[in-house]
Amino acid sequence: MASDIDKSTFDRYWQLFANPMLVNPTNQISLELKTLDSPLNWQEVFGNDRLVEIEVGSGKGRFLKESAQRNPDINYVGIERASKYFEKSCERLAKHNITTARLVYCDAPYFLYRCVADQSVSAFHIYFPDPWPKKRHRKRRIFNNSIWISELVRTLNNKLGEIYIATDYKTYFWEIRELFDCHPSFEYHPDKSTETNYIPTSFEIKYRKQGLPIYRAVYAKL
């Protein structure tokens, strides 16, 4: 866990968050995350030692479902803090019998901080994070969370780690780019950032139908 933050603050938050859990959608077996006294062991969670990729904000589960079907040799974890979308994701993955994905009901920064081991994630997919466009709300943006970047660095694999980002909100995109461009642990990959053979989320499909531009970036951990 990160050592340069006020742990008591996040411990209090952890206790207040309503029943954070990890769920296997295909059999409905769940693990109450508050019971953990050490980070998750992915091999125990999935029953294998394959690479693990995490989607932050899994929404209705489209990306997780499509990714798991396209890449059966990768384990996926979707984090969702909105209960209605968490339930929709569970239903979608169960309907399609996706056995290589797990869902987490929790706030992403605190899940990483409390439950994810060092260098145990091969990729993060952060698509269409809430831009909180009103100035007074911008402190709520996930990239403004005091532990977010440091937890991405800590949990991302040193040799394989990549972060995939997409948003329709131009100013927020460039603020995120600046954070990563200035960080010594990340390198921008322009070729991967412009690839077209990727799986769009439900939000991206919606926004493209509206004619909105989509901004994408890929960073590798150094």
- Judge whether 130 counts as a catalytic residue: yes
**DSSP one-letter string for 168-180:** S-HHHHHHHHHHH
Helices (H) and strands (E) in the chain, counts: 9, 9
Both tokens of 176, joined, read 């995120």
- Report d(CA 109, CA 152) in Å as an integer: 9
Task: From the candidates 130, 168, 181, 191, give the one annotated as an active-site residue.
Answer: 130
Would you state the structure tokens that stand for residue 187, as one six-digit string? 């390198």
What is the length of the chain?
222
Closest-CA residue to 191 (of 154, 219, 160, 171): 219
Residue 182: exposed, middle, or buried by beta-carbon count in 10 A (0-12, 13-18, 19+)?
exposed
* Contact (CB, 8 A) for 25 and 90: yes
Q: Are 90 and 58 in contact (CB under 8 A)?
A: no
128: left (phi over 0), alpha (psi -120 to 50) or beta: left
141 vs 67: CA distance, rounded Å: 26
Which residues are part of the catalytic machinery? 130
